[in-house]
Amino acid sequence: MIQIDGNSLNINEIHSVAVDQEEVFLSPDIVQKIQESRRWVEGIIAQGKPVYAINTGYGIFADKQISADEIRLLNRNLILSHAVGTGTPLPTDVVITMNQTKGFKCMLLESLRGLPTTK
């Protein structure tokens, strides 16, 4: 089992997860950082302070503040807009590699733990 700590993942471990489907677990430190980041985002939303892409639109809509009631819809629409693709779907090992090497700050731990091979 490979530990995800946000700092030490190497190419051999990425290969083990992506190709050999080795399971990973989140280090206590990274869990704490994720929770702290999530609390920070929730605090921003509660304060109503505009922060780009958290409670504002994107690009040319960056100056449009999004109400707390609409933030879920904004995030859902962002995911849907990026979920469209063309061509052959990527192989599972490529998707797993991308998931393991991208940053997960501010994600709900429940969402992160739902990714393939993550405990």
pTM of structure:
0.66
Distance CA 18, CA 94 (A): 7
85: pLDDT strictly greater than 80: no
State residue 56's pLDDT score: 94
Nearest 5°: the CA angle 91, 96, 97 is: 100
Topology (CATH) of 2-113:
Fumarase C; Chain B, domain 1 (1.10.275)
pLDDT tens sequence across 8-62: 888 898 888 888 888 888 899 988 988 898 899 889 889 988 999 889 998 999 9
pLDDT tens sequence across 93-107: 887 777 666 655 555
Domain ranges of the chain: 2-113
